[in-house]
């Protein structure tokens, strides 16, 4: 309880609350702009938060992280284009409702179910915190190494159909983390005699290049599509909130799926949405209306995807394992602000953890209140043409890169990663394994070196319970992947012989 | 539900995206070249264990790129190729034009100052993208907003333009401090 009060105390400052407000509303706005998304906004805002205190900077970025999906539902419902990829399923029933003239009702259901899912997820997070704090002291160097390795393995194997490219990109990320002067014997690695490479490749420069510059290139190379905004009626706030009560069962089940899927790294929003949507359809009295504007479909989709961000913070904060692209970004955000997620954070800075949880709750309150009253005004951001958005992102990203050190080299590196990210996006390959490799590569190298100093025989490495469990999880993840490959191969062979 | 189909494991997808093999091949070739440079780009410390060697992680990660690249290449051989590899590569190269704009923008800042460079960049790029009339003015106004917000209000660290030296004493201070 003391930690909880200390957490409130950390947040009870005007600058923190202002950061949360700006981040939350900013997150909704970028979420509502198809083609921008939270990752780009976080990448751009990250260097700007340098001059702020860690808690202020983190709440600002947390606001963007937690609120973008709310905004993403708006274009999904109104113009059949998801604002963020995880709002794709909302288009199935949201857009048909808009065509029927029920856009306001669809939006209200999306907001209220998103809020419900998020609050349930934060509740789960708070209940789990004391348990995690008890387990935290059991983590030593080898456990942290194995947890980081598990994170990389999970992110790779969960990229279905892209496992090998994801593995290549994760290895590339790990390699990038080794460039420069290494910290144990102070020898140079892959500097090619260049002084600018001695300090290594800056994480922020890579993040800005891979997420912001690359997205700007995608938008600049695309074509503008004309968008016609539908009419959105005015309805009272409580009238809108009340309708969720009708769908409370679906909202609760969907949120639970979201919490469970969010806690498992690599599973995330898509799986939780799929499970929730299937459940809602299976148990509905009108399953034939799914995909044709069934409100239950919106509730299932939005409650599921909004319960994931808070739940995804559990492995991120407890073990330093991000589940997907956005949590990989948040991991980078924590590192940049000198907050190292992992077991020690729970043991030593429980007040900070509670402050983050409370921020997550507050941002949901801010966002839902903002959206209920300002939807009609803010939906105009959807009218910004794609290529104009590209110009905006490129202009903003310069501030992020150039203000770090006023270095032309940084801009050149960010541009190179922007080009690289553009190719990855064109090929529909994931960018998160690269970031994960860079962030976790350094950590793994350091922890393995420390751990190996106390290991005499290979089996000593896993002779502690948590280390053994983590090792077992890595083996299961890899064996499971190999088994899936073999099964698919056999199925392909059978299909070929039958044909 | 198309998402449902996506969730089925497909190790050998139906088609290859144009440029995929080209990308993996180039990545692997760079990794191989870097791997070959390991003896003189990293150090081996005698008497130290493998995990403590500065060479260990670069070798392991580059080895991983090459190994997974090879397995990927082998697994994709039988997959139907989607034509258009070189058109795709040409599109990648075309995007470099915007990188050029971006670099020019950065190079212009220490010469003509942040305000002029940003206005020119936003308006110029808007013209290049085919916008005319009001949109170009909106782009310039956006550039002005960015400068006023970040440089004037938030005082972010951006060098002042050499051109400001030609301004009268008092105006020069204002230009250097706020624009």
B159 in reach of chain A (CB within 8 A): yes
pLDDT at B6 over 60: no
Which residue in the set A190, A391, A403 is minimally distant from B156, CB to CB? A403
Domain count, chain B: 2
CA distances from residue A484 to A365, A491, B84 in whole angstroms, order as listed: 42, 10, 31
Residue A62's CB is within 10 A of a number of other CB atoms, namely 28
Q: Please report how the helices A14-31 and A2-11 are oriented relative to each other, as an axis angle in degrees rounded to 10.
A: 80
Please check whether residues B17 and B60 belong to one and the same domain: yes
Specify burial of residue A32 (Cβ count, 10 A radius: 0-12, 13-18, 19+): buried
* Residue of B51, B55, B25, B53 whose CA lies nearest to B37: B55
A246: helix, strand or coil: helix
Per-residue model confidence (pLDDT) at position A325: 67
The lowest-confidence range among A345-349, B26-30, B116-120 is A345-349
**Percent of chain A whose predicted confidence (pLDDT) is above 90:** 24
Interface with chain A: mutation pick from B2, B3, B100, B159, highest number of A CBs within 10 Å: B3
Token output for A385: 């043409």
Residue A93 Cα, gap to closest chain B Cα (Å): 12
Q: What is the tens place of the pLDDT at every residue in A460-499?
A: 888 888 899 999 999 998 998 888 888 877 776 655 444 3
Please check whether residues B74 and B9 belong to one and the same domain: yes
The last residue of one of the domains, among B93, B116, B144, is B93
Q: Which domain holds residue B83?
A: 2-93
Residue contact A415–B4, C-beta within 8 A: no
Close Cβ partners of A258 (under 8 Å, ≥ 6 residues apart): A117, A121, A269, A272, A276, A303, A304, A305, A306, A307, A308, A311
Please check whether residues B57 and B124 belong to one and the same domain: no
B8: helix, strand or coil: coil
A83: helix, strand or coil: coil
> What number is the ipTM of this complex?
0.89
Residue contact A394–B125, C-beta within 8 A: yes
Per-residue model confidence (pLDDT) at position A297: 93
Specify burial of residue A184 (Cβ count, 10 A radius: 0-12, 13-18, 19+): middle
pLDDT at B108 over 90: yes
Please check whether residues B110 and B162 belong to one and the same domain: yes
Mean pLDDT computed over every residue of chain B: 85
Q: What is the tens place of the pLDDT at every residue in A377-410?
A: 877 888 888 899 999 999 988 887 887 788 889 9
How many Å apart are CA B179 and CA A104, to the nearest integer? 44
pLDDT at B15 over 60: no
CA B163 vs. chain centroid, Å, equals 29
Residue of B nearest to A407 (CA): B106
Please check whether residues B100 and B161 belong to one and the same domain: yes
Per-residue model confidence (pLDDT) at position B8: 36
How many Å apart are CA A254 and CA A248, to the nearest integer? 10
The lowest-confidence range among A22-31, A484-493, B27-36 is A484-493
Please check whether residues B6 and B89 belong to one and the same domain: yes
How many Å apart are CA A497 and CA A477, to the nearest integer? 30
Close Cβ partners of A152 (under 8 Å, ≥ 6 residues apart): A170, A174, A433, A436, A437, A440, A444
In chain B, what residues touch A192 (CB-CB under 8 Å)?
41
Please check whether residues B169 and B151 belong to one and the same domain: yes
Chain A with chain B: Cβ pairs closer than 8 A = 207
The last residue of one of the domains, among B43, B64, B93, is B93
How many Å apart are CA B16 and CA B30, to the nearest integer? 22
Name residue, tokens 């496992």. A163
- Between β-strands A180-181 and A188-189, what pairing exists: parallel, antiparallel or unpaired? antiparallel
- DSSP class per residue in A371-387: HHHHHHHHGGGGGS-HH
Residue contact B49–A452, C-beta within 8 A: yes
How many Å apart are CA A246 and CA A373, to the nearest integer? 22
Asked if residues A299 and A251 have their Cβ atoms less than 8 Å apart, the reply is yes
pLDDT tier, B7 (very low <50, low <70, confident <90, very high otherwise): very low
**Percent of chain B whose predicted confidence (pLDDT) is above 70:** 91
Residue A142's CB is within 10 A of a number of other CB atoms, namely 24
Please check whether residues B77 and B119 belong to one and the same domain: no
How many Å apart are CA B143 and CA B109, to the nearest integer? 13
Please check whether residues B74 and B115 belong to one and the same domain: no
Per-residue model confidence (pLDDT) at position B168: 87
The last residue of one of the domains, among B62, B93, B124, is B93
How many Å apart are CA A485 and CA A492, to the nearest integer? 10
Asked if residues A230 and A74 have their Cβ atoms less than 8 Å apart, the reply is no
Mean pLDDT computed over every residue of chain A: 85
Residue A161's CB is within 10 A of a number of other CB atoms, namely 17
Please check whether residues B142 and B153 belong to one and the same domain: yes
Q: What is the tens place of the pLDDT at every residue in A29-39?
A: 888 887 777 88
Which residue in the set A395, A412, A422 is minimally distant from B95, CB to CB? A422
Specify burial of residue B39 (Cβ count, 10 A radius: 0-12, 13-18, 19+): exposed
Per-residue model confidence (pLDDT) at position A158: 77
Higher pLDDT among residues A80 and B69, named by residue: B69
Close Cβ partners of B99 (under 8 Å, ≥ 6 residues apart): A213, A217, A415, A418, A419
Per-residue model confidence (pLDDT) at position B119: 95
* Residue of A15, A5, A10, A17 whose CA lies nearest to A362: A17
Which residue in the set B19, B61, B142 is minimally distant from A427, CB to CB? B19
Residue of A nearest to B11 (CA): A161
Q: Please report how the helices A386-405 and A37-48 are oriented relative to each other, as an axis angle in degrees rounded to 10.
A: 30
Residue of B nearest to A423 (CA): B92
CA distances from residue A416 to A90, A474, A499, B23, B44 in whole angstroms, order as listed: 35, 33, 46, 15, 30
Please check whether residues B41 and B122 belong to one and the same domain: no
Residue of A nearest to B55 (CA): A189
Asked if residues A22 and A62 have their Cβ atoms less than 8 Å apart, the reply is no
B39 in reach of chain A (CB within 8 A): no
Residue A181, phi then psi, degrees to nearest 5: -85, 125
**Percent of chain A whose predicted confidence (pLDDT) is above 70:** 96
Please check whether residues B111 and B31 belong to one and the same domain: no
A53 in reach of chain B (CB within 8 A): no
| Domain residue limits, chain A | 2-138+146-438
Mean pLDDT, residues A3-13 taken together: 86
Cα-based angle A49, A55, A59 (whole degrees, multiple of 5): 75
């Amino acid at each position: 309880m003391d930690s909880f009060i200390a957490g409130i105390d950390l947040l009870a400052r005007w600058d923190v609350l202002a950061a949360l407000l700006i981040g939350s509303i900013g997150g909704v706005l970028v979420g509502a702009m198809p083609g921008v998304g939270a990752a780009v906004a976080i990448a751009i805002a990250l260097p700007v938060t340098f001059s702020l205190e860690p808690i202020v900077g983190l709440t600002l970025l947390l606001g963007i992280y937690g609120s973008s999906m709310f905004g993403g539902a708006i274009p999904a419902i109104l113009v059949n284009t998801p604002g963020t990829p995880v709002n794709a399923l909302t288009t199935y029933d949201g857009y048909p409702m808009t065509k029927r003239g029920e856009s306001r009702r669809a939006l209200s259901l999306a907001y209220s179910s998103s809020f419900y899912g998020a609050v349930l997820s934060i509740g789960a997070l708070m209940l789990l915190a004391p348990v995690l704090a008890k387990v935290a002291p059991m983590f030593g160097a080898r456990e942290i190494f194995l947890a980081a390795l598990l994170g990389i393995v999970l992110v790779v194997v969960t990229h279905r159909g892209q496992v090998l490219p994801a593995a290549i990109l994760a290895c590339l990320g790990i390699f990038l983390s080794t460039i420069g002067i290494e910290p144990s014997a102070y020898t140079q690695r892959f500097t090619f005699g260049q002084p600018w490479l001695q300090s290594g490749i800056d994480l922020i420069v890579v993040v800005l290049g891979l997420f912001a510059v690359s997205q700007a290139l995608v938008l600049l190379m695309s074509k503008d599509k004309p968008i016609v905004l539908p009419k959105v009626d005015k309805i009272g706030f409580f009238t809108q909130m009340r309708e969720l009560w009708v769908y409370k069962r679906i909202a609760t089940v969907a949120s639970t799926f979201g919490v469970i899927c969010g806690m498992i790294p690599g599973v995330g929003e898509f799986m939780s949405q799929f499970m929730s949507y299937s459940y809602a359809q299976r148990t509905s009295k009108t399953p034939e209306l799914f995909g044709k504007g069934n409100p239950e479909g919106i509730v299932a989709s939005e409650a599921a995807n909004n319960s994931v961000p808070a739940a995804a913070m559990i492995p991120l904060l407890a073990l330093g394992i991000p589940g997907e692209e956005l949590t990989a970004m948040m991991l980078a955000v924590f590192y940049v602000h000198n907050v190292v997620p992992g077991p020690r954070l729970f043991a030593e800075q429980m007040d900070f953890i509670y402050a983050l949880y409370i921020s997550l709750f507050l941002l949901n309150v801010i966002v839902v209140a903002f959206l209920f009253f300002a939807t009609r005004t803010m939906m105009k951001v959807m009218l910004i043409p794609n290529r104009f958005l590209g110009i905006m992102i490129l202009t903003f990203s310069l501030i992020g890169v150039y203000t770090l050190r006023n270095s032309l080299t940084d801009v050149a590196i960010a541009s190179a990663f922007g080009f690289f990210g553009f190719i990855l996006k064109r090929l529909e390959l994931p960018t998160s394994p690269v970031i994960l490799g860079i962030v976790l590569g350094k950590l793994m190298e350091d922890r393995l070196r420390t751990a190996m100093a106390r290991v005499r025989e290979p089996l000593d490495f896993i002779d502690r319970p948590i280390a053994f469990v983590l090792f077992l999880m890595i083996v299961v993840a890899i064996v499971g992947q190999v088994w899936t490959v073999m099964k698919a191969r056999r199925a392909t062979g059978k299909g070929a012989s039958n044909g | 539900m198309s998402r449902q189909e996506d969730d089925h494991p497909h190790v050998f997808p139906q088609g290859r995206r144009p440029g995929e093999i080209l990308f993996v091949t180039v990545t692997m070739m760079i990794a191989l070249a870097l791997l070959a440079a390991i003896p003189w780009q990293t150090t081996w410390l005698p008497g130290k264990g493998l995990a403590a060697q500065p060479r260990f992680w670069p070798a392991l990660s580059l080895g991983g790129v090459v190994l997974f690249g090879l397995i990927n290449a082998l697994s994709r051989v039988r997959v139907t190729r989607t034509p258009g590899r070189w058109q795709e590569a040409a599109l990648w190269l075309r995007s470099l034009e915007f990188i050029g704009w971006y670099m020019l923008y950065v190079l212009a800042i220490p010469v003509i100052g942040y305000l002029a460079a940003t206005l020119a960049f936003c308006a110029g790029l808007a013209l290049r993208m085919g916008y005319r009339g009001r949109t170009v003015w909106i782009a310039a106004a956006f550039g002005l907003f960015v400068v006023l917000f970040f440089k004037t209000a938030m005082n972010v660290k951006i060098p002042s333009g050499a051109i400001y030296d030609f301004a009268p004493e008092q105006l020069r201070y204002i230009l250097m401090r706020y624009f």
